[in-house]
Amino acid sequence: MSAVTPEIKARVEELRREINYHNHQYYVLDNPTITDGQYDQLVQELLRLENAYPELVTPDSPTQRVGGEIQKGFTAVQHRVPMLSLSNAFSENDLREFDRRVRSNLPGEEVEYVLELKIDGLAISLWYEQGVFVRGATRGDGELGEDITANLRTIKAIPLRIKESIPFLEVRGEAYMPKESFVRLNEAREEAGEPLFANPRNAAAGSLRQLDPRVTASRNLSVFMYAIGHLEGANPGTHARLLGWLKDLGFRVNQHYKLCKDIEEVIRQIDKWQEQRFELPYAIDGLVIKVNSLDQQQRLGATLKSPRWAIAYKFPAEQAVSTIKDIIIRVGRTGVLTPTAILEPVQLAGTTVSKATLHNEDIIRQKDIRIGDQALVQKAGDIIPEVVLVFPERRTGQEKPFTMPSTCPECNAPVVRLPGEAAHRCTNKNCPAISREGIIHFVSRGAMDIMGLGESIVNQLIMAGLVQDPADLYDLKYEDLIKLDRMGARSSRNLLNAIAASKHNSLAQLLVALGIRHVGERAAKILARHFGSMSALMAATVEDLTVIPEIGPKIAESIVDYFARPENKTLIQRLDRAGVNMEEANQQAEPGQQPLAGKTFVITGTLEGFSRQEAQRAIEELGGKVSGSVSKKTDYVVVGENPGSKYDKAQQLGIPILNEQEFVALLKQ
């Protein structure tokens, strides 16, 4: 083994700084400044150097986020300061009573409150020594938690090194699963015949208590940090300043907090969030109200169970009573039969609900659900309608028990339930429902994303004998589409253009579209970056796949099994012949061959013809990169309406400035 030179050590440190910076930009600030491919090149270079010089590996290296070791269990962690739970308020009067208690203990003092969203997740504690993440734990019983450090390292919103070298800092917050990730996880588990998570909170908790950190890494968890358990050093003075300080250190802080001058201002915010919470990409189950002054917090103290300076306002449960008019069966793209309750329409969580999934036969039996029952319905995690319970005492004798069919309602093939699974499956791999659902998935958003090709058009194409699998879509002609219901000349041309455009989608999108079991968007991106082409991925063995930190044996075996099937090989060959892209974008052209290769852009102001993300994507597709700040290394600053200080700095540095028309002209060149 060759000796570590100063140049190698400096390069490793530079790579770590750069990767940590881009992790912060992407996972904390939601403002990526380089492409996925460029980020991956940095990580791969660092991995090569650390593998060649193991003595340079440090605990805070970004390569150490995903470990390959499966843990035997979780050890107990003693919290330096107890992680107390909050007392609850369920009404405005409860909040006023809380305010009265606070003020009675602080006679004559002004009291401000900070209002925060109550994230529906799992409370966590992060320990930092000299600015480096060293341990993470659950709340547990408040005194003792579980050490889940290895799993928390996989969450890229958690910094492994913060921006100040504080002797010791314990930060507390909430780990959660975004709504979209929760829906996709449960869809995958339902198709696999696995038990479903009841809500995003349970999904987050279950994901963090995995013995294999790679499973946690695949679950797309995130965090919001909101408190300090123990701090050696600075005192921010107020809770509002504390949140700003945590953000400056590099932590992800929820920005929907509000400083309120009194409890009445807090109460006025409740109705607002009662409605707006459904628009958030994560679940909240209430609001948290905290005394703003840290000095006042300390003097108010705590009971054995909860602090006296904070309270949680819990939203009323969004539930409604409806009648189960029928129970129907839907056959999914993997052949799983899913029972669905048809309901008398009710208003729930801001939408009209007329259906609710019943998941499987076991749940129907456990809840004794019958056709005709009065049922209590809610949205799990404010997302998926579900039947909570039925009211047997309201039965009239006309209700009918439900039994899962023994044959597929779509093709009459036998239905089986495999040992250890909750799902019933159609045994006919050529079942028309499986084909239909597979095509609907193929064209859906997040997959090939073919605009205008919805379920009704897919059904018509199948009924007309024009499409049997996704590859047939690329053989469609104008005269095929114009004959369909509600397909005029313009919509037919638009759909053909959308299908043609999908040929240029990324390899990751194609992998999602194929519907390989356990391969979602995140795994697809990782696979596309690692292998670079469909042919390389198809040739990969389980051993080749499991060397990728985020890909565990379960995903690897599923991928190998998929590509081993002759019908799947044939489908991919036909897609390839149709001109569908089979390579990762960064593999298709050398950087020097791309017109904007090596050019750095900064965008400021509002563009008329582009969103910020669309402009960034256009630049990256031509080999350029977008930065969040102007420096001497910036090549162009694109200026829209109402530009900010970046425009002024560009003028000071003499950097070329493009208006929107000039930017469009450059892209066309």
pLDDT for the residue 592:
47
Identify the pLDDT of residue 318: 77
293 and 346 together in one domain = no
Last residue of a domain, one of 314, 345, 377: 314
The total of structural domains in the chain comes to 5
Predicted local confidence at residue 250, as pLDDT = 93
Domain at 24, CATH number: 1.10.287.610
Percent helix, strand and coil across the chain, each to the nearest 5: 40, 20, 40
The residue from 421, 440, 464 where one domain ends is 421
Same domain as 248, residue 118: yes
Residue 358 belongs to a domain: yes
Q: Residue 54: how many CB atoms within 10 A of its CB?
A: 8
Longest Cα pair distance anywhere in the chain, in angstroms? 84
Q: Is residue 426 part of a domain?
A: no
Please tell me whether residues 333 and 296 are part of one structural domain.
Answer: no
Instruction: Go through 172-211 and write b for each residue having 16 or more CB atoms within 10 A of its CB, e for each that does not.
Output: bbbbbbbbebbbbbbbebbbbbebbbebbbbbbbbbbebe
Question: Has 411 been labeled as part of a binding site?
Answer: yes
pLDDT (average), residues 476-500: 90
Q: Is 314 annotated as a binding residue?
A: yes
- 254-268, 470-484, 655-669, range with the lowest pLDDT: 655-669
- The reply to whether 569 sits in an annotated binding site is no
Q: Is residue 661 part of a domain?
A: yes
Mean per-residue pLDDT, 140-157: 91
Residue 573: is its pLDDT beyond 50? yes
Residue pLDDT, tens place only, 282-323? 989 899 999 999 999 999 998 878 899 999 998 877 789 999
Shared domain for 536 and 627, answered yes or no, is no
pLDDT of residue 560: 96
176 CA to centre of own chain: 9
Q: What is the pLDDT of residue 587?
A: 46
Q: Is residue 602 within 8 Å of residue 622, measured between CB atoms?
A: no
Verify that 138 and 234 share a domain, yes or no: yes
> What tokens appear for 414 in the block?
């036998």
- The answer on pLDDT for 152 being more than 90 is yes
The pLDDT of residue 222 is above 70? yes
Tell me the per-residue pLDDT of 347-381, one tens digit each, with 9 for 90 and over. Answer: 886 678 899 989 999 999 999 999 999 999 988 66
Q: Name the residues annotated as catalytic.
A: 118
- Residue 593, pLDDT score: 58
Average pLDDT of 635-660? 85
- In tens, the pLDDT along 438-477 reads 999 999 977 998 988 988 899 999 989 999 999 999 999 9
**Amino acid letter, residue 28:** V
Quote the CA–CA distance of 408 and 426 in Å, as a whole number: 6
The model's confidence at residue 30, banded by pLDDT at 50, 70 and 90, is low
Please provide residue 314's backbone torsions phi and psi, each rounded to the nearest 5 degrees.
Answer: -95, 130
Q: Same domain, yes or no, for 440 and 575?
A: yes
Task: Give whole-number Cα distances, 349 to 271, 286, 317, in Å.
Answer: 14, 14, 10
| Domain match, 172 and 262 both | yes
Q: Is 308 annotated as a binding residue?
A: no
* Distance separating the N- and C-terminal Cα atoms of the chain: 49
> Averaging pLDDT over each range in 171-175, 527-531, 654-658, which range is the top one?
171-175
Vertex 579: Cα angle to 578 and 583 (nearest 5)? 135
On whether both 168 and 225 belong to a single domain, the answer is yes
Q: Average pLDDT of the chain?
A: 88
290: Cβ contacts below 8 Å, ≥ 6 apart = 113, 114, 116, 239, 297, 309, 310
Q: Does residue 70 lie in a domain region?
A: no
Task: Check whether 39 is labelled as a binding-site residue.
Answer: yes
| Mean predicted confidence (pLDDT) in 43-53 | 85
The predicted pLDDT at position 581 comes to: 94
> Where residue 382 falls among pLDDT bands split at 50, 70, 90?
low
Please compute, for residue 165, the number of CA atoms within 13 A of its CA located in the half-sphere on the CB side: 1
Q: According to the annotation, is 174 in a ligand binding site?
A: yes
348 marked ligand binding residue: no
Same domain, 603 and 571: no
pLDDT in tens, 575-632: 999 999 999 865 444 444 578 887 889 998 878 777 676 688 788 778 788 887 788 8
Indicate whether 347 and 258 sit together in one domain: no
Written as six digits, the tokens of 325 are: 């008019």
**Residue 426 marked as a ligand binder:** no
Bin 142: left if φ > 0, else alpha if -120 < ψ < 50, else beta.
left
User: What pLDDT band is residue 480 in, cutting at 50, 70 and 90?
Assistant: very high
Domain range spanning residue 355? 319-421
| CB proximity list for 62: less than 8 A, separation 6 or greater | 16, 19, 20, 23, 43, 46, 160
**pLDDT of 213 strictly over 50:** yes
DSSP string, 398-435: --EE----SB-TTT--BEE--TT-S-EEES-TT-HHHH
Using DSSP bridges, classify how beta strands 310-314 and 600-604 pair: parallel, antiparallel or unpaired. unpaired
Residue 57 lies in a domain: yes
Say whether pLDDT at 233 is over 70.
no
Which residue among 287, 314, 341 closes a domain? 314
For residues 4 and 120, the model is more confident at 120
> What are the tokens at 637?
């600053």
My answer on whether 350 and 436 are in the same domain is no
* pLDDT of the residue at 621: 75
DSSP secondary structure of 26-66? IIISS---S-HHHHHHHHHHHHHHHHH-GGG--TT-GGGSS
Whether residue 440 is contained in a domain is answered as yes
Buried b (16+ CB within 10 A) or exposed e, 482-516: eebeebeeeebeebbebbeebeebbbbbbbbbbbb
Q: Are residue 331 and residue 474 in the same domain, yes or no?
A: no
Instruction: Confirm if 451 and 443 have CB atoms less than 8 A apart.
Output: no
Could you give the percent of the chain with pLDDT greater than 90?
A: 50
More confidently predicted of 158 and 614: 158
Asked if residue 570 is part of any domain, the answer here is: yes
DSSP state of 2: P
Q: How do residues 50-97 score in pLDDT, each as one tens digit?
A: 888 888 888 788 887 765 555 667 888 999 888 998 998 989 999 999
Report if residue 158 sits inside a domain. yes
Q: Is residue 400 marked as binding?
A: no
Tell me whether residue 37 is annotated as binding: yes
